[in-house]
Structure 1
Amino acid sequence: MRWAVGIGVGWLAVFAILLVIAQVHPSTVLVDVPYLVPIVAAVGLSGAAAWVTRGRTRVAWVLLAISNALWLTGEVVWVYYTYVLQRGPPAVSAADFFYLSSYVVAIPAILVGIGSSGHLRHVRGLLDAGLLALGLGTIGWQVAISPSLPQSPRLADFVAFAYPLFGVAIVTTLAAVGLAGRHRLPAWGVLVGAGFAVAGVTDAVYAYTIAAQNINSNWINVGWQVEAVLFGLAAVAAIRRPEPEARERTRSRDLTAVPLTIAALAAIGLLVADRVDQGPITGGMLVILLALFAGLLSRQLLIIRDRTRLATQLRASLREQERLAITDGLTGVYNRRFFQEMLRIEAERADRTDTPLSVVLLDLDEFKKVNDGYGHPAGDAVLAQIADRIRGSVRASDIVARYGGEEFGCLLPGVNEEVAVEIAEQIRQSISRSEVAVGQGRNVRLTSSLGVATGGTRDSHPLADPDGLVNEADAALYRAKATGRNRVVAAGMLVDPVYADPDLPPGLVWLADRIDAQLSTHEHSTAVSRWSMLVAERLGLDMATLRRVAAAGRLHDIGKVTVADAVLRKALPLTAGEWEQLRRHPDESARLLTDLGGRPDLAAVVAAHHERFDGTGYPRGLAGTGIPIEARIVTVTDAWAAMLADRPYSPPLTVAQARAEIERCRGTQFDPAVADVFLDLVTEGLIGDLAEPARA
């Protein structure tokens, strides 16, 4: 750059010396031929800048190279007229066309190279530049140019004054770029702007000399030489000093008023001048006025559009901020703060409308192993997938939140305890039913423990203390963890169906699980226990019966321990002896409960769970109400679980097929009242699918 500046300054000094010599020894060749040297250099350097630069800067330099080439072409045409045709160019010639075209191409070069990247900002910048140029040109015309014109101005006068007007347009384009909010102009942009500023002043002086019929001075050529030198330096700066594209900056104040004010003043000036002259408005003046008013109107429309867009963006930003304030960024569900606020609101609404409100707390079992074994990013991905499964198991109106770490909370307005337990069971099954991805093609199977608490109903937690409701759900969750994980525990009436009776013998529970595992890969006795309790609750039975039916459902098949494995797993029809052995298992279950479990109160129930309502069942042929109600309930739920399971002797049925079988046997094998209640629960979606056996 130092060498380029030195060469440029040196050339200007040489050109000045040539001008002095030309005055002493008059010779146009001595000035005109060297005059082309910096212009040719500017064209070559502009082409080089267009070759080495990139992006929008390259596009700008391609246009500037074209602009400089047009300028050089105009000069060549002028030289052709002077030295080939041996006569000066006409007042308005082809050279003027190329000169003015170079200005026209330069304006988009500036807007592309250092203007805004946004289309709308380009429009605003161009409009601002146009308003500034037209406004300043109009004011200049009124103040300086018009008084200097002869009574009958020639076309050459107007063409001559077009040059400074284009110079003003380019300088104001640079000003408009600044008004559009650029971070800073690149060095080459500053040099290009300086070149056009010098050109504008030089063109203005030339226009006055044309109007004054005085074009003898060659010193005016120094201005255009300075312009060419500055363009060459700008190209060198673009080649040798690569700079990032200009960035937009946030403006502390709105400068749009600058071009608008100038344009408005110009329009007012035209009208005032017309009133002073008392003459008709000329066609040219009318065009200028219309252009000014159209520009002002268009700019105002853009301002309105800008402010509307900004207001829309602000509203969207506020909505996003509100969403982020209540949303967990990792899982996309609500956060704990929002959950607690909605708990308070829903508790007040439930208390006011006398409706129930349930809370479900969920914790992933042994989740630390995922983080330790696969890394925390994998753990984060798992949490997001679990959140999706939870949302898919509840209603759209329910609140799902990440309560902490690997713990989630669900707020279920209007849901009583029995439905909340079934929803929690659906969530548990959706998590344990299939594996979740941890990345890199690896999957892991997870289970969860859930605690349920309900308020707003008889014998439930008072809604005046919603935090206490959460505490009860948390305590139920702790019980689920303590009793083996992968289970649902309710804090109130519907206590854990698996451990519905705290005195249930653990050894017999283990035996029930072992028998279930022998017969199927899915749960059986746990589902029978859970569904039996739901049916008993729907029938309006008392708490003691609820506990008894849940316990009986859990242990109804323990007598099968006395049946040979070959019989239990046999796929072909059983022989008479094998049937006799299998039919003894209800009595064996009763015996084990009496002798080993100390629970004779359950013996009568499990002994009768294969009795049929029409009296054709076994082992004693009981019928109707002679069968304990608990046994009649277990008969239905046991049959449903068996039909849905894949047993050695029978493939699983679909829900529709199993439902048809319950309806077919209503009144024969099953108590009609119990069957109807059970099918109602199926219709309501409260009887879920069979899950895989729980793993501690």
Structure 2
Amino acid sequence: MQFEAMAFLEKLDTATLAFIASLVFLTVAVLFVVVYFSRRTYAGFGYWVAWQICSLTGFVVFANRGPEPGPYSILLTNLFLLTAPALLCHGFIRFHDLRSGRLLILTNYLPVALALAAQFHFTFVVPDQQSRIVVFSLARMAVLIRCCVELLRSREMRTSPSFFLFAAILLVLIANDLFQIWRIWQPAAEIDSWGGANIKFALLVGIAGDILGAYGLLLLIRERLERELDAARHNIEALARTDALTGIWNRRHLDEIVGLEVERARRYRQPVSLILLDVDHFKSINDRYGHAAGDDVLRQIAALGRHSIRSTDTIGRWGGEEFLILAPGTPLANAGHMADKLRRAIADHAFAAPGRVTASIGVAEWGIGDDIDSWMRRADAALYLAKQSGRNRVETAEIGEHDQAIVNQA
């Protein structure tokens, strides 16, 4: 199998492979540039554009230097092909908002700078092709390993399907660099910097890695866009169900929750109570202190209500100065105590403009003979009775004989 692979590589033409690689990198670079200037992109994408341009330039210089490259073409090829993965890594750091100090980011380019200095030495001072290959491979391995570390630091990346794609690409590139170093150390190793099987294999790996890497980066952007769209959709749905003034649920959401709780009560034979609260003399507060003061009263009562109920209860603004609390698993007596606790909290609270504010509350437990409308009417009747009886009080709606409480039917 190994000999068949080597024979296949020997048949390939290096110039043709280099030309194909240049075309692939040119296509991807153009795609990235178009996306960068015509679409919304994220932090780090500019570095990925630079990564593609550096890779393209490096392969173009390599394709044009031929089997007997000059010293400057060698340095230029190494410069662009080593800077490219450093830019890719920098893009990951920015894209995932990984907290890295300026010094730490500069170390991303340190292997590139050291390798170029060594390449200059082994090109002009002490010409040594084997040392140049080892230096190049070691430097690129260092940058690629740093890239792997940055991917592991990102929680977003670790949970992304593209993580495995990038991990596979980086590991293959690192393995290729290790293979190049191992091959150099073999006794009587023949080094061919143009037509050797190792060069052709590296070109094939570069072509495949660039295509898959570009796909992975675009997949990362699509995943983030989908997450942001889902979050925006959830926010819009929450806003559509939330009262803009008080921040608690609005009537639309309460209507749905009431229906669900009634169905649950019917199915599981569990009690559920409804608490209807109305702010006393609210029109007088608006007339005397202004609508801004009235709005502040509503916001503070909503906050008091949130702190007075259990996590299983639901509170919302029913309309105007009326609030509704739904208490599942709560019989009438317990709901009455809960309502009175809230009434006292409101009466004892120091409001900014009016000072003291009171509320009247009606409580009704759902009964077997109730539908939603009759249940609401009984709670509203209890609230009206509290108003008529002097306000700042709680009244409960007793269940008639035909509306026996389901807690007694369990």
Q: Normalising by the residue count of structure 1, what TM-score does the alignment of the two structures yield?
A: 0.33
SS at 1:451's partner residue?
Answer: strand
**Residue of structure 1 in register with 2:397 after alignment:** 491
SS at 1:486's partner residue?
Answer: coil
Q: What are the superposed Cα offsets for residues 251-308 of structure 1, whole Å, 9 maximum, x if unpaired? A: xxxxxxxxxxxxxxxxxxxxxxxxxxxx943776665555444444433332232222
CA gap 1:128/1:380 in 2 versus in 1, 3 angstroms: farther
Matched-pair contact (CA < 8 Å) for 1:417–1:493: no
Residue range with higher mean Cα deviation, 315-324 or 354-363: 315-324
Among 302, 305, 328, the alignment partner of 1:413 is 328
CA gap 1:437/1:311 in 2 versus in 1, 3 angstroms: same
Structure ID, larger Rg = 1
The code of the aligned residue for 2:270 comes to T
Matched-pair contact (CA < 8 Å) for 1:451–1:480: yes
Percent identity among equivalent residues?
36
RMSD: 3.6
Q: Give the CA deviation at 1:119.
A: 3.1
* 1:607-626 equivalent positions in 2, closer than 5 A: none
CA gap 1:479/1:121 in 2 versus in 1, 3 angstroms: same
Matched-pair contact (CA < 8 Å) for 1:134–1:292: no
The code of the aligned residue for 1:386 comes to I
Q: Give the CA deviation at 1:344.
A: 1.6
Distance in 1, Cα, partners of 2:225 & 2:388: 56
**Residue of structure 1 in register with 2:232 after alignment:** 317
Aligned: 1:155 with 2:79? no
Distance in 2, Cα, partners of 1:427 & 1:284: 79
Query: Which structure 1 residue ranges, 5 or more long, are not aligned?
Result: 1-109, 174-278, 495-696
Query: Which structure 2 residue ranges, 5 or more long, are not aligned?
Result: 1-32, 88-193, 401-410
Matched-pair contact (CA < 8 Å) for 1:450–1:489: yes
Distance in 2, Cα, partners of 1:304 & 1:292: 18
Matched-pair contact (CA < 8 Å) for 1:350–1:456: no
Matched-pair contact (CA < 8 Å) for 1:131–1:292: no
Aligned: 1:400 with 2:309? no
Q: Give the CA deviation at 1:431.
A: 0.5
SS at 1:395's partner residue?
Answer: coil
Matched-pair contact (CA < 8 Å) for 1:399–1:411: yes
Q: Give the CA deviation at 1:415.
A: 1.9
SS at 2:44's partner residue?
Answer: helix
Matched-pair contact (CA < 8 Å) for 1:417–1:453: yes
Aligned: 1:452 with 2:368? no
The code of the aligned residue for 2:361 comes to L
Aligned: 1:335 with 2:254? no
Q: What are the superposed Cα offsets for residues 168-194 of structure 1, whole Å, 9 maximum, x if unpaired? A: x9xxx9xxxxxxxxxxxxxxxxxxxxx
**Residue of structure 1 in register with 2:48 after alignment:** 124
**Residue of structure 1 in register with 2:349 after alignment:** 434
**Residue of structure 2 in register with 1:300 after alignment:** 215
**How many pairs are equivalent?**
252
Q: Give the CA deviation at 1:483.
A: 2.2
Q: Normalising by the residue count of structure 2, what TM-score does the alignment of the two structures yield?
A: 0.53
Matched-pair contact (CA < 8 Å) for 2:386–2:393: yes
CA gap 1:295/1:381 in 2 versus in 1, 3 angstroms: farther
**Residue of structure 2 in register with 1:470 after alignment:** 376
The code of the aligned residue for 1:357 comes to V
Distance in 1, Cα, partners of 2:41 & 2:225: 17
Distance in 2, Cα, partners of 1:473 & 1:360: 7
Distance in 2, Cα, partners of 1:475 & 1:482: 10
Distance in 2, Cα, partners of 1:330 & 1:130: 54
**Residue of structure 1 in register with 2:156 after alignment:** none
Q: What are the superposed Cα offsets for residues 6-54 of structure 1, whole Å, 9 maximum, x if unpaired? A: xxxxxxxxxxxxxxxxxxxxxxxxxxxxxxxxxxxxxxxxxxxxxxxxx
Q: Give the CA deviation at 1:449.
A: 0.7
The code of the aligned residue for 2:375 comes to L
Q: What are the superposed Cα offsets for residues 86-108 of structure 1, whole Å, 9 maximum, x if unpaired? A: xxxxxxxxxxxxxxxxxxxxxxx
Q: What are the superposed Cα offsets for residues 446-481 of structure 1, whole Å, 9 maximum, x if unpaired? A: 100111122226xxxx23x11111111112212222
Aligned: 1:479 with 2:385? yes
Distance in 1, Cα, partners of 2:240 & 2:261: 20
Q: Give the CA deviation at 1:123.
A: 2.7
Distance in 2, Cα, partners of 1:291 & 1:374: 74
CA gap 1:493/1:292 in 2 versus in 1, 3 angstroms: closer
